[in-house]
Amino acid sequence: PNLEYLNLKGCSDLEEVHDSLECCSKLIRLDLSDCNSLNRFPRVNVESLKYMSLEGCFSLEKFPDIHGRIKSEIQIRMRITRIRELPSFITDITKLDLRGMENLVVLPSSICRLKSLVILDVVRCSKLKSLPEEIGDLDNLEQLHARGTLISRLPSSIVRLNKLKILCFYGLGDGGVHFEFPPVAEGLQSLEYLNLRYCNLIDGGLPEDIGSLSSLKELCLEGNNFEHLPRSIAQLGALQFLNLSNCRRLTQLPELPSELNELRADYHMALEFIHDLVTKRKKLQRVIFEQPYLDLETKRKEGYDAHNDTIYEVFAHALFQKISSLRHDISALDSLSKSVFTIAHKEKKIPSWFHHQGWDSRVSVNLPENWYIPHKFLGFAVCYNGILVDTTTQLTPVCDDGISWMTHKPALSSDNSECDTESSDDSEYYINVFFVPFSVLWDTSKANGEIPNDYGIIRLSFSGEVKKYGLRLLYKEENEVEAMSQIWENNNELTEHFTGLRRTR
């Protein structure tokens, strides 16, 4: 009866907890986590209990009966169990973690009386089909995580959760059930992050008034089946991140919010809408293009890697040709120098479209003689693999006789979105491309009467990190690009890259 602490964690052969535990009124801490054979736990005394863990007891189907009066500060862990029903005594708690309770079919309406509840987690409760209709009564709820459940319809009262910041229903799949989000009705005013990835959303699944989510910063709609999106998305004034990758039925890119900073989309969307993205989205700093999703059976087929690589090369060439064909925009738009176009590619291969390639942290490339053609040279296209880093581009004279260097440090956005926290970090597979328009790099006030062709070296620095890189000179006419590339080859003046370049000025 004087037992205060009982730790049976990891006792994999334990099948039953003895009834005498009901008599232990001084028990403070009980840890039965990972007792994976435990299937009978009749009752427990909670008079003094502050902590009880049943986490990982995946043979346990019933919560024990309690004896005594439960304390409001008690911590109860039930993750990854087969418990079918929640105990009714749960009252004044701030976090309810039910993650991995695969046999949980329904949440009792009594949880809606938990006025102090801040976080509700039912991730991977794979038989859970609904939320209580009164869930809007959880006045202090800030986070609701429900990926990997069967929930396909949200109670209309959910829009009353005006302290809710994070809402996640990721992974309904394509089993014939379509997810439906209720009309916002000017509710959910604190919601910042909405994840509806792979929820089998079709046209009408998103509310037409989604634009009234005034605090929404990130919207993840990857892998859904809609053909059109609500027009009110353009009214999401705080939205900075939008994920539309693998939305294979999407036929039209909606008008995008004015403050949007990052967009993720598929290859086909890139080719179709790149003109609009380049010329009209002046605050869009990063666009990430991902290859269409292929199932495992397709990936296992012989020759997949070669086929995948061909798709990547064809897409990259077509994409960059489309971008470079926007001749006036490249030469005139300063905003283009602040944008990054990123392609996800598992092999981390620099596209062959970039004539000059190498691997280093600092790069020096000798430019062809008379590389600058007035009114025809547009600028430089640069790419490198991995996460975004601060990159410096410098145009320097061949002979350092006091001529000022031309320097450009693009303010490239960092990858700080929350949308991929539930998947592996794939930024190492990114190929980042940005453009340095000549009009941005060249500063006449520093030239001191010199002309561009007096500058014969282009230098790149990747903040000390070794990168695979690529460089291409851009001209209004493609034949001029090929001619300059041939000069490079004939004179054996491909890149002389090096680490630790010293500036002797």
Q: Are residues 398 and 307 in the same domain?
A: no
Amino acid sitting at position 224: N
What is the rounded distance in angstroms from the CA atom of residue 257 to the CA atom of residue 212? 12
Domain-located, residue 45 = no
**Residue where the block lists tokens 């309690």:** 66
Overall number of domains in the chain:
2
Tens digits of pLDDT across the chain (505 residues)? 789 999 999 998 999 998 888 889 899 999 999 998 999 998 888 888 888 899 889 888 888 888 887 776 777 888 888 887 777 666 667 888 888 888 888 888 888 888 889 999 999 898 898 999 999 999 999 999 999 899 989 999 999 999 999 999 987 655 567 888 999 988 999 999 999 999 999 999 999 999 999 999 999 999 999 999 999 999 999 999 999 988 888 887 878 888 898 899 887 777 777 777 766 665 777 888 877 655 545 445 544 455 567 777 777 777 777 766 665 555 555 556 667 888 887 777 888 888 889 898 888 889 988 899 998 888 888 989 888 888 889 998 877 677 788 998 876 655 545 544 444 456 778 888 888 888 888 988 888 888 999 898 999 988 878 889 999 998 877 665 565 555 555 554 433 433 333 333 3
* Confidence at residue 505, expressed as pLDDT on a 0 to 100 scale: 35
Q: Is the Cβ–Cβ distance between 199 and 174 less than 8 Å?
A: no
Q: Is the Cβ–Cβ distance between 24 and 1 less than 8 Å?
A: yes
Residue 435's CB is within 10 A of a number of other CB atoms, namely 26
Q: Are residues 401 and 473 in the same domain?
A: yes
Q: Is the Cβ–Cβ distance between 474 and 435 less than 8 Å?
A: yes
Q: Are residues 267 and 134 in the same domain?
A: yes
Q: Is the Cβ–Cβ distance between 449 and 358 less than 8 Å?
A: no
Q: Which domain holds residue 149?
A: 50-318
Q: Residue 230, CB half-sphere, CA atoms under 13 Å: how many?
A: 19
User: What are the tokens at 487?
Assistant: 């000069």
Q: What angle do CA 436, 438, 442 make, to 5 degrees?
A: 110
Q: Are residues 111 and 237 in the same domain?
A: yes
Q: Are residues 357 and 314 in the same domain?
A: no
Q: Are residues 358 and 303 in the same domain?
A: no
300-335 burial: b if 16+ Cβ within 10 Å, else e: eeeeeeeebeeebeebbeebbeebbebeebbbebeb
Domain-located, residue 455 = yes
What is the rounded distance in angstroms from the CA atom of residue 411 to the CA atom of residue 424? 26
User: What are the tokens at 385?
Assistant: 């693999």
What is the rounded distance in angstroms from the CA atom of residue 229 to the CA atom of residue 251? 10
Q: Are residues 314 and 357 in the same domain?
A: no
Domain-located, residue 340 = no
User: What are the tokens at 40?
Assistant: 């009978």
In this structure, are strands 467-475 and 377-385 parallel, antiparallel, or unpaired? antiparallel
Domain-located, residue 202 = yes
* Confidence at residue 492, expressed as pLDDT on a 0 to 100 scale: 40
| H, E, C per residue of 225-294 | CCCCCCHHHHHCCCCCEEECCCCCCCCCCCCCCCCCCEEEEEHHHHHHHHHHHHHHCCCCCEEEEECCCC
Query: What residues pair up with 242 in beta bridges, in sequence order?
Result: 219, 263
* Confidence at residue 302, expressed as pLDDT on a 0 to 100 scale: 44
Q: Cα torsion for 266, 203, 178, 81, to the nearest 10°? A: 50
Torsion angles phi and psi, residue 156, rounded to 5:
-60, -25
Measured on CA atoms in the order 182, 185, 188, 194, is the torsion positive or negative? positive
Q: Is 342 exposed, middle or buried (0-12, 13-18, 19+ CB in 10 A)?
A: buried
Residue 441's CB is within 10 A of a number of other CB atoms, namely 19
The enclosing domain of 377 has a CATH number of 2.60.120
CA 400 to each of CA 174, 324, 392, 446, 454: distance values in angstroms, whole numbers, following the listed order: 63, 32, 19, 14, 11
Domain-located, residue 243 = yes
Nearest Cα to Cα of residue 324 among 472, 488, 453, 487: 472
* Confidence at residue 498, expressed as pLDDT on a 0 to 100 scale: 32
Domain-located, residue 1 = no
What is the rounded distance in angstroms from the CA atom of residue 20 to the CA atom of residue 283? 67
Domain-located, residue 19 = no
Q: Are residues 270 and 366 in the same domain?
A: no
Q: Is the Cβ–Cβ distance between 88 and 103 less than 8 Å?
A: no
Q: Are residues 87 and 161 in the same domain?
A: yes
Strand order in the sheet with 362-366: 362-366, 455-461, 392-397, 406-408
The enclosing domain of 268 has a CATH number of 3.80.10.10
Q: How far apart are the first and last CA of the chain?
A: 83
Q: Are residues 291 and 396 in the same domain?
A: no
Domain-located, residue 470 = yes
Q: Is the Cβ–Cβ distance between 144 and 170 less than 8 Å?
A: no
What is the rounded distance in angstroms from the CA atom of residue 168 to the CA atom of residue 496? 49
Q: Residue 376, CB half-sphere, CA atoms under 13 Å: how many?
A: 12
- Integer Rg of the chain from CA: 29
Q: Are residues 95 and 182 in the same domain?
A: yes
DSSP code, position 47: S
**Collapsed DSSP state (helix, strand, coil) of residue 471:** strand
Domain ends where: 296, 318, 340? 318
Q: Are residues 295 and 379 in the same domain?
A: no
What is the rounded distance in angstroms from the CA atom of residue 405 to the CA atom of residue 423? 43
Domain ends where: 270, 297, 318? 318
